[in-house]
Amino acid sequence: MAIGLENIIFLLVAALGIGLFVWQISRIRKNVLMGRDLVLADNPSERLNKVLLVAFGQQKMFKRMIPAVLHLFVYIGFLVINIEVIEILIDGIFGTHRILGFAGVLYSGLMAINEILALLVIVACAIFLWRRNVKKVPRLAYGVEMRAWPELDANIILVTEIVLMLALFAFNISDLKLAQLQGHQVAGSFPVSHFFVNALGSDPETLHVIGRVGWWFHILGILAFMNYLPSSKHFHIIMAFPNVYFSKLLPKGKFTTNPAITHEIKAMLDPAYQPPAPETDADGNPILQRFGAKDVEDLTWKQLMDSYTCTECGRCTAVCPANITGKLLSPRKIVMDTRDRMEEKGEHPAIFAPNHYKELGIDRVPVTEENTLLRGYVTPEELWACTTCNACVEACPVNIDQLSTIMDLRRFLVLEESAAPAALNAMFSNIENNGAPWAFSPSDRFNWAEDLYVPSKN
């Protein structure tokens, strides 16, 4: 153990990287808290159970078997290889070498599993790159929301993961070869590097440099990657866990009820009804809330958290009946738009590329100049294409509730702007006047029961 200049530099770089990450998280936290209050503290055991099954257990990923298995490699690789990262950190700070090596067989096993996982991660990421760029799986390669940045972002992540794994191998191979040259044993077992032990030559000086470069590259790569996360769809590796914890536990068919409207109606029906005093802000002024959502602050913090959790996999859009039949609606677009608008309006992470539909000239999306989520990003045409079938919600591997956001935007159109399509306004007036969505007389409601017979029992 020798703490030298390299260790001090490492310590500084690590502190800087972690500090920058914490700063970015605090900005994102601020964005999420732009949303409306919502208490989701019920049933903690059911929530934890969901986290275990859906987040840790990847349960919903397995609706699509091939990507699920490949993703599992990357996911487990990420979790397990991070144990080695702890060692890398300790070695880096204290100038030790494979500090966990004392664990003997356990350490050998861990290193062996790490190497196999690292190889699987490379294979999986290569297949993912192929699926995106060569095979062009529709949900990954197409859609109006898959603009320049989302496309680049996905490729950056996959290439970075491959490079990080290669750095890990370079580090292990040079270590192995050096030990071989010096005639002693390296702690650990390296089933993959073992095969490539001669791949980097046998000059001790070069090997030493490669080893150090591999080590530095891996650790700097991880720090850089961590700070890239908040700007990326890859942020889901963190957000999936809280987002699943706070998922909707109620039946999917139960939409939210606005109590402010209940009070209004009760007061209307009964003049003696005393509605509760409106909530007030710190200065004692009543907080007036819009009915429905026009912009990001009208959504709840959970709906905003949803959009930081989205990894743009497009499973929601791929099962959306409107999207399947060529309508503009794409649940993924709603979620991505919410994030873009939130970062435009509030804080934004280190790398921010909003990719406006208008600036990109994507004519299919008839956005306006309005500086709001509604119309500036999400158009009424999309909202009115939704059948509220919950297929998107069911499909999402990280329990995003796309439908709740669609509904809140719809509510604003209807309740604040009376901007429903004419046919729906006709339906509304039928309900008001006839108690049915069609123009039938309520007095005919019981006519179906006329001349009805059943076989008599003898």
**Near other proteins in 118-157, by CB under 8 A:** none
Work out which of 2, 4, 271, 438 binds other proteins, going by CB under 8 A: 438
Work out which of 120, 165, 329, 398 binds other proteins, going by CB under 8 A: 329
**Cβ distance to other proteins smaller for residue 103 or 426:** 426
Q: Under a CB-based contact definition with an 8 Å cutoff, are residues 208 and 173 in contact?
A: no
d(CA 320, CA 315): 9
Please report, as a single letter, which amino acid is at residue 169.
Answer: F
Work out which of 242, 321, 346, 354 binds other proteins, going by CB under 8 A: 321
Report in angstroms how near the CB of residue 317 gets to other proteins at its nearest. 14
Q: Under a CB-based contact definition with an 8 Å cutoff, are residues 215 and 88 in contact?
A: yes
Give ∠ CA 301-305-307 in degrees, rounded to 5. Answer: 125
Binding mask 42-71 for other proteins (x = CB under 8 A): ---------------------x--------
Quick one: which of 160, 158, 159, 201 has its CA closest to 177? 201
Residues 342-401 that bind other proteins (CB under 8 A): 381-382, 384-391, 393-394
Work out which of 5, 65, 325, 361 binds other proteins, going by CB under 8 A: 325
Report in angstroms how near the CB of residue 265 gets to other proteins at its nearest. 5
Residue 280: strand pairing partners = 286
Question: Taking CB under 8 A as the rule, does residue 436 contact other proteins?
Answer: yes
Question: Taking CB under 8 A as the rule, does residue 435 contact other proteins?
Answer: yes
Report in angstroms how near the CB of residue 382 gets to other proteins at its nearest. 8
**Cβ distance to other proteins smaller for residue 53 or 209:** 53
Binding mask 245-264 for other proteins (x = CB under 8 A): -----xxxxxx-xx--xx-x
d(CA 122, CA 74): 8
**Positive or negative: CA dihedral 187, 189, 192, 197:** positive
Q: Is 329 left (phi over 0), alpha (psi -120 to 50) or beta?
A: beta
Task: Dig out the tokens for 22 from the structure.
Answer: 């914490």
Which segment (41-49, 123-131, 198-206, 431-439) binds other proteins by CB under 8 A?
Answer: 431-439
Question: Taking CB under 8 A as the rule, does residue 274 contact other proteins?
Answer: no
d(CA 16, CA 8): 12
End-to-end CA distance of the chain: 99
